[in-house]
């Protein structure tokens, strides 16, 4: 049974959202904050202080920014906005270790973030967009359509909300919530850079995973820019025909095109790739699929993440346990050096598992 609690807007993300007048500081980079401070007659150093207060200390109230002069704190209080989201509701899974946060933006759109605690890891699954227009046939987010991209501040405030809720520092970030990160490339990368920044959240680059459905221009840009974050590609099928049927994006960028880009990426960077494969009954769960899957990826230095499908509207189903076992057995027998992880989704009882995130805007 799930437990739900309503929260007031002030206990977690105290302060205002970005409605009304005011400069939104959340989401600004160090360079932007420095320039902004100089424009207001402050020193460059003031920009670093603000950066540290907002991201390293995750403070939302200027009054607590003790190394900033009282006068400038007054200015910040009067003219600036440090929050972009409000926490509306928290839903907790049976085990209590997975929580789904329902957040609302200044323009009253809703989005979801998932916090997962496991031993000494706190993984937060972030949304990059409200809705998604990639329109994968099996995905609850896809069925909402696309409303808008999230801002850098809104991406960052999801993490801060998850931290403030649990009081456990975040150790891993996955862009596997609502939306396609590579269709909001600039903002997602700016947020990731702030998460990674020494004076920001100081998270290692490999603790940040960006999952894409296969947006080739985004993958190419990620490679060209030598981004050090982990790249995950949602494969979900072993033939072009099946993939195109369930993921329309495949009509534009085929598996073959994506793989040839990834091969080059690995020969240059030697970075591991993660492939995600959701297992759906009678779609991609046959023994032949298992063999094809291993053959397709065996030349990559990669991890394979198998996700038994989380049912949403009943059109697609999770395969029976024996079918999943058989599929995994074939994979394990042939896996070579490939590390295989099975993601029995946490939080399925609260629809907080992959692909179950979908909210209505108010």
The catalytic residue positions are: 112, 354
Q: Which of 222, 309, 330, 352 binds ligand SAH (CB under 6 A)?
A: 309
Any idea what DSSP says for residue 140? H
Strand partners, 23: 80
Please name which of 17, 175, 38, 176 lies closest in space to residue 105, comparing C-alpha atoms.
17
Out of 30, 355, 358, 359, the residue judged to bind ligand SAH by CB under 6 A = 355
Q: How far is the CB of 290 from ligand SF4 (least distance, A)?
A: 21
Closest to ligand SF4 by CB, 49 or 250 = 250
User: Cα–Cα distances in Å, from 220 out to 86, 140, 175, 225, 252?
Assistant: 35, 27, 18, 8, 15
- Single out the residue of 136, 90, 103, 139 nearest to residue 347, CA to CA: 90
As given in the structure block, the two tokens for residue 24 are 């939104």
CA angle 277, 317, 314 (to 5 degrees): 125
Which of ligand SF4, ligand SAH, none does residue 91 bind to, with CB < 5 to 8 Å depending on kind? none
Pairwise CA distance, residues 311 & 351, whole Å: 9
- Smallest distance from ligand SAH to CB 30, Å: 28
Whose CB is nearest to ligand SF4? 142
Q: Which is nearer to ligand SAH, 62 or 181 (CB)?
A: 181
Is residue 270 within 8 Å of residue 301, measured between CB atoms?
A: yes
Alpha helices in 135-277 (DSSP H): 140-143, 152-166, 185-196, 216-224, 240-246, 249-252, 255-269
Q: Check binding of 356 to ligand SAH (CB under 6 A).
A: yes
Instruction: By CB under 6 A, name the binding residues for ligand SF4.
Output: 132, 134-136, 139, 141-142, 179-180, 213, 355
Residue showing the smallest CB distance to ligand SAH in the complex = 355
**C-beta of residue 183 within 8 angstroms of C-beta of residue 215:** yes
Nearer to ligand SAH, 36 or 146 (CB): 146
236 binds, among ligand SAH, ligand SF4, none (CB under 5 to 8 A by kind): ligand SAH
For residue 79, which phi and psi values (nearest 5 degrees)? -115, -5
Task: Tell me how far the alpha carbon of residue 112 is from its chain's centroid.
Answer: 10
Q: Hey, which residues between 191 and 250 contact ligand SAH (CB under 6 A)?
A: 211-213, 234, 236
Residues between 125 and 184 that touch ligand SAH (CB under 6 A): 138-139, 176, 180
What is the C-alpha end-to-end distance of the chain, expressed in Å?
26
Taking CB within 5 to 8 Å according to partner kind, which of ligand SAH, ligand SF4, none is near residue 123?
Answer: none
Nearer CB in complex with ligand SAH: 53/175? 175
Least distance from ligand SF4 to the Cβ atom of residue 72, Å:
41
Asked if 62 is part of the footprint of ligand SAH (rule: CB under 6 A), the reply reads no
| Of 74 and 217, CB closest to ligand SAH | 217
What lies within 8 Å, CB to CB, of 318 at 6+ separation is 279, 280, 281, 308, 309, 310, 311, 324
Nearer to ligand SF4, 143 or 164 (CB): 143
Q: In the complex, what is the shortest distance from the CB of residue 18 to ligand SF4, in angstroms, rounded to a whole number?
A: 25
Distance CA 220, CA 155 (A): 23
Which of 52, 276, 285, 289 touches ligand SAH by CB under 6 A?
A: 276
> Is residue 307 within the footprint of ligand SAH (CB under 6 A)?
yes
The one among 12, 17, 312, 338 contacting ligand SAH by CB under 6 A: 312
User: Contact positions toward ligand SAH, by CB under 6 A?
Assistant: 138-139, 176, 180, 211-213, 234, 236, 276, 278, 307, 309-310, 312, 354-356
């Amino acid at each position: 049974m799930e437990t739900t609690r309503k929260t007031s807007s002030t206990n977690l993300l105290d302060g205002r959202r970005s409605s009304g007048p005011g400069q939104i500081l959340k989401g600004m980079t160090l360079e932007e904050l420095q320039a902004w401070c100089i424009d207001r007659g402050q020193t460059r150093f003031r920009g670093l202080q603000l950066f540290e207060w907002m991201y390293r200390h995750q403070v939302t109230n200027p009054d607590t920014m003790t190394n900033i002069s009282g006068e400038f704190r007054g200015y910040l209080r009067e003219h600036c906005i440090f929050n972009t989201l409000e926490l509306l509701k928290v839903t907790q899974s049976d085990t209590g270790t997975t929580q789904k946060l329902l957040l609302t933006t200044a323009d009253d759109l809703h989005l979801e973030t998932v916090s997962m605690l496991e031993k000494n890891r706190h993984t937060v699954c972030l949304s990059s967009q409200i809705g998604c227009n990639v329109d994968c046939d099996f995905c609850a987010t896809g069925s909402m359509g696309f409303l808008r991209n999230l801002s850098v501040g809104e991406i960052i405030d999801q993490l801060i909300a998850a931290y403030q809720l649990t009081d456990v520092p975040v150790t891993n970030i996955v862009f596997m919530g609502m939306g396609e990160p590579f269709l909001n490339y600039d903002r997602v990368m700016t947020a990731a850079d702030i998460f990674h920044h020494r004076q920001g959240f100081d998270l290692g680059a490999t603790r940040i995973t960006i999952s894409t459905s296969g947006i080739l221009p985004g993958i190419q840009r990620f490679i060209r820019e030598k981004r050090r974050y982990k790249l995950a590609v949602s494969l979900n099928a072993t033939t072009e025909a099946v993939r195109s049927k369930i993921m329309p994006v495949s009509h534009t960028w085929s598996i073959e095109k994506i793989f040839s880009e990834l091969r080059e990426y690995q020969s240059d960077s030697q970075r591991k790739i993660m492939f995600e494969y959701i297992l759906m009954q009678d779609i991609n769960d046959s023994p032949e699929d298992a063999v094809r899957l291993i053959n397709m990826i065996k030349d990559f230095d990669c991890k394979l993440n198998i996700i038994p499908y989380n049912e949403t509207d009943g059109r697609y189903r999770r395969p029976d346990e024996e079918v999943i076992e058989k599929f995994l057995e074939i994979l394990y027998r042939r896996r070579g050096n490939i590390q295989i992880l099975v993601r029995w989704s946490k939080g399925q009882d609260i629809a907080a598992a992959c692909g179950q995130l979908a909210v209505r805007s108010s």
